Amino acid sequence: MTHDDVEEPVELFGFDGTRIRRRAGAERLTLDRRGLRMTRRGRTVETTWEGIDRIERYAMSLRYSTAKAWAIIGRDGTIIFPHEFDEQWTAGPIGDRLRHHRPDLDLPDPETLKVLRFGIPNHQVPFVFLPAVVVGVVVLTVVVGASVLKALSLVAVIVGGVLLWVASPKWQRVPRYAIYVVSGISVSFALGAWLWDLAS
């Protein structure tokens, strides 16, 4: 890519990753020789290339989720999540301009660009949840005295609730039908386990 190419203004269109309604979350990112300018829901934030402080994983919603993604963070507090405009942003216009204007910044490896829904590497999620399930079942059966089926049903409800709450940047991002389906399955499973326990 030539010098003229990276100086040419570019507009990228994306969607706010914390919104379920795509039209409500439409946003635009403009790259030019001065810096980056993002418009979202009628509000514009911008930072110059020199004003970029760092690139690091950052919580997509501090109040509602554990989800983290790579963010371009300005010294003035501006936060832009480039994956919302280009999933492979380090290999596209955003990465090209960062390498040109700010060669001192270390861009993340392309293999690490996926959003971490639980704030930890995705391949480590089973190693966190599986021990939690085992511990939960053991505690409920040994300490509380519940049957294995009751313990499994209660743990399933808890894990399902946790997944629904933190797997998306914000609660409203979870489709309503998904909440109904998971809740219905969990309640049905718990009721079935309770009836089975009574019958035995």
pLDDT at position 181 is 65
In this model, does residue 171 exceed pLDDT 50?
no
Global pTM exceeds 0.85 = no
The pLDDT value recorded for residue 185 is 67
Which CA distances in Å does 1 have to 38, 69, 72, 92? Answer: 24, 27, 22, 11
β-strands 52-59, 43-48 pairing = unpaired
Inform me whether the pLDDT recorded for 52 exceeds 70: yes
Reported as a pLDDT band with limits 50, 70 and 90, residue 107 is very high
Q: Which residues contact 34 (CB under 8 A, 6 or more apart)?
A: 48, 49
Tokens 């911008």 locate to 46
Residue of 89, 93, 59 lying closest to 73 (CA atoms): 59
